[in-house]
Amino acid sequence: MTLKEFFAQHPRAAVAFSGGTDSTLVLWAAKEYGADVTAYYVRSLFQPAFELADAQRLAGALAVPLKVAEVDILSVPEAAANGPRRCYYCKRALFTALRQAAAADGYELLLDGTNASDDAGDRPGMQALAELAVRSPLRECGLTKQEVRRLSREAGLFTWDKPAYACLATRVPTGTPITAEDLARVERGEEALFRLGFTDFRLRLFHGAARIQVPAEQTARAAALREELLRALGSDFPDVLLDLAGR
């Protein structure tokens, strides 16, 4: 099945839209192939502010309406506790809110951007998607991440080479309860790294310190910018560590 065939069969759909590479291609395809489509973005403390800005920019460029659903994710005890199945409870809460928002607008079908490269056995959140009957056109059409990037480039989408960005909760070690304060300082720290020109990195909490992971080719630059990194992150983190293993 192709995306064109999928949307011929499903001409009316809501898209869970993050502004990332995968969901952008789903939204583009829905619009391109004539579907009645609305994008729904879920905002919680686990999503950094720049993701909403990207989603708004992309939805505007595609001329697709975008609606925002708000979720107090830390009020979900299992998500805040940050156990090994945090992703399942988080995904279930977020997509329940998206499904309710879409249903209120008359959409019975909710789509997401899971692709054929995503390993269902390694993603507990995919269990929640199955339980909520969320469809994944990219996966159903057999499109891998590489193919998603190729099709996105051919479509002229700037997200074709956008790095994957896991939610802020992944920066907190499993088993450590997640707080709004920790999420805020991680987000501020990653914004500082962006401003310093780093890409495709992670700032992870490590016993109160900031552990910076950058791609191997950026490690030397990070070491050279030692003083700048300390100034940028010092107000939020007592110690700043550079992970030499990289990403």
The model's pLDDT over 119-166, given as tens digits with 9 standing for 90+, comes to 765 577 788 898 999 999 999 999 999 999 999 999 999 999 998 888
Average pLDDT over residues 228-238: 96
Given this model, what pLDDT does residue 126 score?
Answer: 82
Q: Which amino acid is at 96?
A: T
Is the whole-model pTM more than 0.75? yes
Mind listing the pLDDT tens digit for each residue in 22-37? 999 999 999 999 999 9
pLDDT of residue 76: 97
Write down the pLDDT at residue 124. 74
Q: How many CB atoms lie within 10 A of CB 61?
A: 13
Taking the C-alpha atoms of residue 35 and residue 246, their distance in angstroms, rounded to an integer, is 42
pLDDT tens per residue, range 47-75: 999 999 999 999 999 999 999 999 999 99
With 0-12 / 13-18 / 19 or more C-beta atoms within 10 angstroms meaning exposed / middle / buried, residue 76 is middle
| Range 155-183 average pLDDT | 94
What would the two tokens of residue 210 be?
A: 């900031």
First to last CA, the chain: 35
Assigned token pair, 1: 């099945």
In sequence order, the 6+-apart residues with CB closer than 8 A to the CB of 122 are none
Mean pLDDT of 82-108: 96
Which tokens belong to 127? Answer: 């269990």
Average pLDDT, the chain: 94
What amino acid occupies position 38? T
- Categorize the per-residue pLDDT at 214 as very low, low, confident or very high, splitting at 50, 70 and 90: very high
List the structure tokens of 74.
């830390």
Tell me the HSE value of 187 on the side-chain side, using a 13 A CA sphere. 17
Whether 217 shows a pLDDT value over 90: the answer reads yes
Residue 82 has pLDDT above 70, yes or no: yes
Segment 98-126, tens digit of pLDDT? 999 999 999 999 999 999 988 765 577 78
What is the reported pLDDT for 125?
76
Give percent above pLDDT 70 in the chain.
98
User: Has residue 79 got a pLDDT over 80?
Assistant: yes
Dihedral, 158, 163, 166, 167 alpha carbons, nearest 10: -50
Q: How far apart are CA 94 and CA 74, in angstroms?
A: 11
pLDDT at 121: 59
CA 148/CA 108 separation, integer angstroms: 25
Give the pairing type, strands 202-206 and 110-111.
Answer: unpaired
Per-residue pLDDT at 195: 95
Q: What is the DSSP string of 55-70?
A: HHHHHHHHT--EEEEE
CB burial of residue 81 (10 Å; 0-12, 13-18, 19+): middle
Q: 152 near 192, Cβ under 8 Å?
A: no
Give the model's confidence band at 247: pLDDT under 50 very low, under 70 low, under 90 confident, else very high.
Answer: confident
